[in-house]
Structure 1
C-alpha cells in the first residue's frame, strides 16, 4: 500500500465512521403485523361474525355527504348521505365497517334521505378507539346556527350528538388505527335518551319533530345487498377484530366526559391468547402509550387506565420523565404484557436525548423498575418502542438510568461511550471503530515496509 492509497483509505474510513455516529439510522421494524381472522359484533352476550362492506373509493366518497357548502344548486344536497341510500331505512340506524382505498372505517347512518320520517336524535360514545382514530365524515358539519350537532374526539373515546329533521340523515364515519387489532364499544342513546332531546340550549330543540329511531342494525357482506343483524337500542355494542371464539374485550362509557379514565373488560381468555388492549395515551402527548398486549391470562379480567400520576411512585430526580399512565387491576396477577409506545422526535432533540436513551418503567409498590426497551420503528415525526412488563400498577416513559444487558439487568455503567445502544447506527463509537481499522492498516503498512 503506497502513501496515497493509505491517505485515501484514512479519509474514507474516518468519514464513514463520522457518518455512522451522526446519521443514526433506526433498525428496521421486524415485528409482524397481527393477523386479522375477521370482525365480530357483540351485544349482551350475542356474537356475530361480520364482513366489511367494500367499495372502490374512500369512505368519504362512499358516504357522499351533501349540504349547501359541499354542493352547488341544482344538486340534491339535503344535509344527508346520498351514497348510502340503498342501505338506509326509515326510523332505522345502521352500523357497519367499510373497506376502501383509505383503509377500514366504522360508519353509522341514522334514518333515510327523502324517506317517510320526521327526524330524530341520537348520541354515540365510542370507547377504546386507537389514539389515531378521528372523524373523517361528519354529517352535519357546516357553518351556521342551524347546525346543532356536537362532535367529540377525546383520549380513549370519540362521539357525537346528532339531531336531524324530516327526510334527512345524520351520522358519520371514523377512521385511523383500524387496520391492526382493535375493539371498540359503542354506547348508544336514541330518542328520549339522546343528549339533544329537548335541549333548550340549542338553536331549535324541536328540530327532530318527535321523530324516533325504532330499529338498530349491523350490516355485513355484499355492499349492494348486505345481511343485517338486529341490535337492541338499549345495550352497548362492541365491534372488534377476530372471531367469536376469541376473548371478548369491551370498554366502559366515559364517566365524566374528559377521557381521563378507561376500563377494559376481558372475558373468556385462555393462557395461549394474546389479548390486545387500547390504553389511554398518558399524561403527555409528546410520549404516548399505543397498545398493551396481555398474555398468560386465564378467564376474565378488568384493567383500568388513568391519566393521573398522583397515585404513582415519585419519578427519580436525576432522569428526564416524558409521560406516565396509571394502571390498576386485581385480576392480572401472573400475567405479562407487551407495551408499545411512541416518542416525538422533536421532544428527544429538545431534551438532548438519543432514541436509545429512552426506557419504559413499571411501578412495583413504591418504586419504579426499568425494563428492557427496544426501538422498533421510526417515522418522520416519532420513534416507536416495545417493552415487556409483568407488573400492572403503573407505567412511565423516561430517560434510562442504566444501559440494560440482554437478561434485563443493569450494566456497570463504566463505559466510555455514554451508554451506546446495541442498535445499528446508534453507536457513539462508530468513528472510533473506523480509527481502529486505520490503525490496523498502519501496522500492516509498517510490516510491509520492513
Structure 2
C-alpha cells in the first residue's frame, strides 16, 4: 500500500478525467491469449462446449456475520427478503446520486456467510462500509490475483455451450443436481468438493464451479477429460472477453467514486493504486460524471427493490420510469470495419488498429456515438464475434435513438491529444452502425 490516497491524487490533478485518461491497459489474466485459436474457442460456446478459467482476473469479498444482510441491504439496490442459502444474486451498488459504483455476483454460502466475485470498486465500497459502519460482520477482500501475484483462495471455472450439461453430468461424482438458474449446491468432482452454480455465458447453458485453489488442477483436468468426446475447448483471454457483447453484460464503466462530497471520506480511505482505472476512446468529456452510468440504463432496473432504504434510492426512483439512455447493441458496418484494415495498405495516415477479437487499449472504453452530427451516446465494449460474422459493441444511447434499426455513427480512435502508449498514431474513422437489442443473442441459459 502507498501512503497516497485516491483523494490525494484527485486534489493534485487538474481533474478526475486528466488523472484517469491514457493510463493504458493492465494484464487481464494469467491465462494465455489463446489455447487453440480464438475463432475455434468462440465456436465452442455455440457448437459444443467451452471451458473458462475465471480464477485470476476478479476480486473476491467475503463477509461473515449476523448483520451481513443489513450491510448489503443498506448499500445495494437488490431485494434481500428472499435470498436463500445456495442462491446467487447480481449484486448492484450505487452511489448517493444513483450512479453505478459496480456490480458483482453474490453467493450465499451459509446462513451468515457470503462471497461476492467481480470488479474491485463495489467491493472496496462495501469493505469500507463494513470497517467504518456499525455492523457485526467480518469482511476480507482478495485483490485480483493477476495483479497481486498471489494465488487465489479459490479456483473458479465455467463450462458453457449446448453440450455443457452433458459434460458436467459426466464430470461430477454422482447424479447432476437439478438446479434452478443462479442456484448452487455442493458436489464432488474426482473426489474434490466444489460448489456448482447453474449459470451460463454468451446466452448458452452452463455451470460455474469453485473450490479450494489447491485442488484446481485436478478438477480442471477431470472436467476436460469428461468433455473430450464433446470437443470441449479451453477459452483463452481473447475469446473469453469477447463473450460480453453477446450476453449483453456491460463491463467496466467508470465507477462513480471520483466526485461528490458524500464520497470524499471513502476516497480518503481508498489507496491510490486501488482507485486508479484507465479511460480511453474517442469520447472526450471534461466532467467525470459524463462517464458515469446508472443501474437503470445498463439494464438492472428490474432488480432494483424500492421497498427498502438503500444508498441512491431517491435518484433511482426519479429515473426508473424515464431513463435518459438505454443499453443497446451496435452492429458495425462491415465495409467501414474492413476499411480500417484497408488503411494499413495505402499511403497516408492509418486508422486505429483493431486487434481482434477485442480491440481494447484501456480498461474503461468510451467511443462517441452520433446521430445527425450530435453526440447521442457512447459505445463501450466491442468485439468481433465469428459466430455472427459481425463486429458488435455494447452502447448506451439516448432513448429517442434506441429503437432497433436506428442508424448511427461511432468514432473509432482516441481523443485529440491522447498519450495512450498502447495506441499507435492514427486518424479517426467514422463507422456506421445499426442499433439492435441487448442482449444480441437469444438467451438459452
Same fold (TM over 0.5): no
Query: Which has more helix, going by share of residues?
Result: 2
Structure of greater Rg: 1
Q: 1 or 2 for the larger relative contact order (CA 8 Å, sep ≥6)?
A: 2
Report TM bin, short chain.
under 0.3
